[in-house]
Structure 1
Amino acid sequence: MEARPRPSGVRRVTAKKRPRPDASSNSARKLQRREIAAFPERTFAASTTRERFRNIQLQEEFDTYDPKENSSLLPYLRKRSEIIEIVGARDIIFALSQLGVCAAFSRVKNQRICFLNGSPDEVIRSLFYNKNNDSLITVSVYGSENFSALRCRTTRIEYIRRGKPDAGFPLFETESLRWPGFVEFDDVNGKVLTYSAQDSTYKVFDLKNYTLLYTISDKDVQEIKISPGIMLLIYSRKKGYIPLEILSIEDGKRLKSFRHLLHRNKKIDFIEQFNEKLLVKQDGENLQILDVTNSKITEVSSNEFVTPSAFIFLYEMQLFLTFRNRSVSVWNFRGELVTSFEDHLLWHPDCNTNSIYITSNQDLIISYCKAEPDDPSSEDNACSINISEILTGKCMAKIKAGNLCKQKSSKFLCTPLEALGDITSLYYDEEREEIITGNHQGLIHVWSN
């Protein structure tokens, strides 16, 4: 999984020449379109949020490691490894380990249903829940192909629930997704983008039925960014400018072509598209926010806006989150800092978005955090799961060691304190109001009130 800043609702998987055991997935969470609550209701929402997370306890534990079940896999796949991705689909929890083993668990029966690895040399790289047809898409590489070609497969959730993961079928078999090819799932627009490096061809498929919609063949296209309703094509850089083109995501028709002027001999930190706004940042230069409808440019000082490690775009709120050096900030497209979060220092220094979840109505961010350096009541390595309000930056609730000390845990391999102290991936099931975490041992923990 290529760790890179991508808009929320978009997930890209890039083929590699060989498996990377330390690769992390940039699994920014999928966002559904819902109306944001009006301001007078926020006080009530805050109180219900605190109540919802007030007495969270460790309720269940699942294990992705099973030497008997995995005895047919390649030797290095049989080891315990950390959980890098958790995906929820109704009453099913899917957990993917760093080594590429994926297991499905039932929250109704509270037991493991099956493993999804279909062959001994299959290494699953990423998961995507397709809510359009209630199925799970797995993206894998195989030892027989030197782990260099991506293979996609879709399986109905109902088949997985019955313990029949082999009842699915392959996708995009005609595409050559060898390195540096990729496949990208766009949940917001309901599209799939593939890139075949062999012939420099991009293809867009319908996520509902996987039919081919159109093809883009141009060797000068260096990158494609997806935003609601549109795609931004970034062409090879020229002297003093970069050619850009905006296409309709539905039919690929050209909507606008233009050039954006650049400072010579300065590398481009990033180019991101969000609806009609284009964000461009060069090394040591100000952030430029271009409105492509009228060519108006807003600049933000490089002292105020430092190049982040990752973005998450909040489509409904017309805001975006930036992640840098364990901190999270919220910006608007006028270049103004909207929120700096209180008591929300991320645990992972690389801003790994696997341990971050944004709720579907975009009001809360749930993250794995560490104690602030100036907090006298916490130990140096104190950790917690923090629930904060995005618009205000206020910490609404926190799951920390002090809340878990009295809980008995004889039925679990990990005590609640051990489970809290070792989190590598985090997911929030909004329907069941459960926080699900994974750790370095390949264990899954379910937390709820």
Structure 2
Amino acid sequence: MDGKRVGVSPRPCSGRRVVASKKRRRWWGCGGEECVNSVKKLLRREICSKRDRAFSISDAQERFRNIRLQEEYDTHDPKGHCSTVLSFLRKRSKIIEIVAARDIVFALAQSGVCAAFSRETNERICFLNVSPDEVIRSLFYNKNNDSLITVSVYASDNYSSLKCRTTRIEYIRRGKPDAGFALFESESLKWPGFVEFDDVNGKVLTYSAQDSIYKVFDLKNYTMLYSISDKNVQEIKISPGIMLLIFNKASGHVPLKILSIEDGTVLKSFNHLLHRKKKVDFIEQFNEKLLVKQEDENLQILDVRNFELTEVSRTEFMTPSAFIFLYENQLFLTFRNRTVAVWNFRGELVTSFEDHLLWHPDCNTNNIYITSDQDLIISYCKADSDDLLSEGNAGSINVSNILNGKCLAKIQVSNSCPSEDELSGEAKKRARSSRIRSKVAEALEDITALFYDEERNEIYTGNMHGLVHVWSN
């Protein structure tokens, strides 16, 4: 999950832009022959000789086949990591976000407490709250400089403004979370201001509602690149290489501008016709395609290079609760009523997932992980009705192939409870020394956050009780 926006609201926003991409692809001004043909790309992907491509299905099944519950971490400190912290920071609360980097697992609780755990020692390293009144709202791992950015609000400021801080991972590993420094101090990020981290383009977008100014910063060194000052801009959407500026709706149309993400140069300005009396469900820009959906109307897919328009019946494409965009594959996922579907930009349904009914109806993207190759989706789902060992409200962690919808692996109660005879001598020794207090069924209950560490091949889940569980081979 490469991009996220954090706004100044009472609780972290549930709807967030999620971008899944490994690298950017130039598109503006390209001819038709240069644009990717989805079918050919998928075919190349299936027959590609690269590792993890030709045998992606069997490899994935093998990678997840023997994953078991291996460790448990607790973000709650009954004594309080600081005697002077706010009382609600000392209360047990659910995990809302997990990020892993350099063998460190970061777990953020809804209360605003964030703890760092070492996968090498399985010890809690430190809490990232460096001030007694700090409430951390969100995390972002900046791989450009191997640092963790925390976005916080403070009691001393009446929780009204976002404050960002960056801390090198190495400092956190040494237990020195206060060794970082503040970012964007010149910006007034009061409600409805926000900060958005875009890993795809290596940019940060801030919005100061006080003076209606958007600013773009370099994610590598945090220098400001340019600003956009226009009170008529209603929203900004970011895609690889470009930004879409959506202006206030006019009579029968909405003015739009497409800018270069690098320097803010206007690449195209145009108006898109709308039904005057119907609300806009969404306007999204993905490379050369503009997606527009109004209430009770067909989905419109507009190619902004030649203004060729494709419509998809409103009975076939109903407004989703969230998107995930796969730029490498020129596809996008939609989430609606706990189901996931894959579409191409011709408006065709490519894949419907089998056995992948999401647990949470609100599609919290912190419970979904897309691999960097964009071939797998890992989600917290409803357990099988025939999982006889399932207890209470235990769900399952499902691994599915995005291109064909097949369920490749599943972590559930019935396949995650090895008997004593199945454990090796080393595994038995680990089991005896482990601090796991939860049963597998309990660890699979009420999962509120999920993260997959691709380098370690480990899944981390957080639950309602502030516990983090490690699932690995």
TM-score range, shorter chain: over 0.9
Q: 1:428 is aligned with what amino acid?
A: Y
Change (3 A) 1:188 1:75: same
Q: Aligned match of 1:62 in 69, 73, 76?
A: 73
Corresponding residue number in structure 2 for 1:14: 7
Q: Is the 8 A contact 1:386 1:395 kept in 2?
A: yes
Question: What is the aligned-residue RMSD (CA, Å)?
Answer: 1.9
Q: Aligned match of 1:201 in 185, 195, 213?
A: 213
In structure 1, how many angstroms separate the alpha carbons of the residues matched to 2:231 and 2:441? 53
1:395-434 equivalences in 2 (<5 Å): 395-406=407-418, 411-434=435-458
Q: 1:341 is aligned with what amino acid?
A: F
User: 2:166 is paired with a residue of what secondary structure?
Assistant: strand
Range with bigger deviation, 31-40 or 126-135: 31-40
Identity of aligned residues (%): 72
Q: Aligned match of 1:259 in 248, 253, 271?
A: 271
In structure 2, how many angstroms separate the alpha carbons of the residues matched to 1:104 and 1:360? 24
Q: Is the 8 A contact 1:309 1:322 kept in 2?
A: yes
Residues 178-230 of structure 1 show CA distances to partners (whole Å, capped at 9, x for unaligned) of: 00100000000000000000110000000000001001000000000000000
- CA drift of 1:56 comes to 1.0
Corresponding residue number in structure 1 for 2:22: 32
In structure 2, how many angstroms separate the alpha carbons of the residues matched to 1:219 and 1:27? 22
In structure 1, how many angstroms separate the alpha carbons of the residues matched to 2:83 and 2:15? 26
- CA drift of 1:160 comes to 0.5
Q: 1:32 is aligned with what amino acid?
A: K
Matched, 1:442 2:463: no
Corresponding residue number in structure 1 for 2:424: none
Corresponding residue number in structure 1 for 2:314: 302
Residues 140-175 of structure 1 show CA distances to partners (whole Å, capped at 9, x for unaligned) of: 000111101000000001100111000000000000
- CA drift of 1:71 comes to 3.0
1:101-120 equivalences in 2 (<5 Å): 101-120=113-132
- CA drift of 1:421 comes to 2.0
Change (3 A) 1:191 1:390: same
Corresponding residue number in structure 2 for 1:330: 342
- CA drift of 1:413 comes to 2.0
- CA drift of 1:88 comes to 0.9
Corresponding residue number in structure 2 for 1:144: 156
In structure 1, how many angstroms separate the alpha carbons of the residues matched to 2:276 and 2:217? 37
User: 2:172 is paired with a residue of what secondary structure?
Assistant: helix
In structure 2, how many angstroms separate the alpha carbons of the residues matched to 1:143 and 1:193? 25
- CA drift of 1:94 comes to 0.6
In structure 1, how many angstroms separate the alpha carbons of the residues matched to 2:419 and 2:445? 15
User: 1:349 is paired with a residue of what secondary structure?
Assistant: coil
Change (3 A) 1:24 1:280: closer
In structure 1, how many angstroms separate the alpha carbons of the residues matched to 2:387 and 2:437? 29
Residues 392-427 of structure 1 show CA distances to partners (whole Å, capped at 9, x for unaligned) of: 000001111101234676731211221012311000
Corresponding residue number in structure 2 for 1:188: 200
Q: Is the 8 A contact 2:394 2:442 kept in 1?
A: no
In structure 1, how many angstroms separate the alpha carbons of the residues matched to 2:256 and 2:118? 47
Could you tell me the TM-score, scaled by structure 1's length?
Answer: 0.94
In structure 1, how many angstroms separate the alpha carbons of the residues matched to 2:442 and 2:78? 23
Change (3 A) 1:186 1:284: same
- CA drift of 1:31 comes to 3.7
In structure 2, how many angstroms separate the alpha carbons of the residues matched to 1:407 and 1:52? 21
Q: Is the 8 A contact 2:45 2:54 kept in 1?
A: no
User: 1:213 is paired with a residue of what secondary structure?
Assistant: strand
Q: 2:112 is aligned with what amino acid?
A: G
In structure 2, how many angstroms separate the alpha carbons of the residues matched to 1:209 and 1:55? 41
Q: Is the 8 A contact 2:2 2:21 kept in 1?
A: yes
Corresponding residue number in structure 1 for 2:428: none
Corresponding residue number in structure 2 for 1:177: 189
User: 2:447 is paired with a residue of what secondary structure?
Assistant: coil
Corresponding residue number in structure 1 for 2:180: 168
- CA drift of 1:128 comes to 0.3
Q: Is the 8 A contact 1:367 1:386 kept in 2?
A: yes
In structure 1, how many angstroms separate the alpha carbons of the residues matched to 2:362 and 2:82? 31
In structure 2, how many angstroms separate the alpha carbons of the residues matched to 1:232 and 1:67? 47
Matched, 1:367 2:379: yes
1:40-51 equivalences in 2 (<5 Å): 40=47, 44-51=55-62
In structure 1, how many angstroms separate the alpha carbons of the residues matched to 2:312 and 2:351? 16
User: 2:89 is paired with a residue of what secondary structure?
Assistant: helix
User: 2:61 is paired with a residue of what secondary structure?
Assistant: helix
Corresponding residue number in structure 1 for 2:370: 358
- CA drift of 1:352 comes to 1.1
User: 2:57 is paired with a residue of what secondary structure?
Assistant: helix
Change (3 A) 1:433 1:241: same
1:118-157 equivalences in 2 (<5 Å): 118-157=130-169
Change (3 A) 1:24 1:255: closer
Change (3 A) 1:250 1:193: same
Corresponding residue number in structure 2 for 1:5: none
Q: Is the 8 A contact 1:30 1:187 kept in 2?
A: no
Change (3 A) 1:203 1:78: same
- CA drift of 1:67 comes to 2.5
Q: 1:350 is aligned with what amino acid?
A: D
Change (3 A) 1:131 1:55: same
Range with bigger deviation, 39-48 or 152-161: 39-48
In structure 2, how many angstroms separate the alpha carbons of the residues matched to 1:407 and 1:376? 20
In structure 1, how many angstroms separate the alpha carbons of the residues matched to 2:195 and 2:131? 21
- CA drift of 1:29 comes to 6.7
Q: Is the 8 A contact 2:93 2:466 kept in 1?
A: yes
In structure 1, how many angstroms separate the alpha carbons of the residues matched to 2:174 and 2:291? 46
Q: 2:45 is aligned with what amino acid?
A: A
In structure 2, how many angstroms separate the alpha carbons of the residues matched to 1:74 and 1:55? 42
Question: Which residues of structure 2 form unaligned runs of 5+?
Answer: 25-40, 421-430
User: 1:109 is paired with a residue of what secondary structure?
Assistant: coil
User: 1:258 is paired with a residue of what secondary structure?
Assistant: strand
Corresponding residue number in structure 2 for 1:273: 285
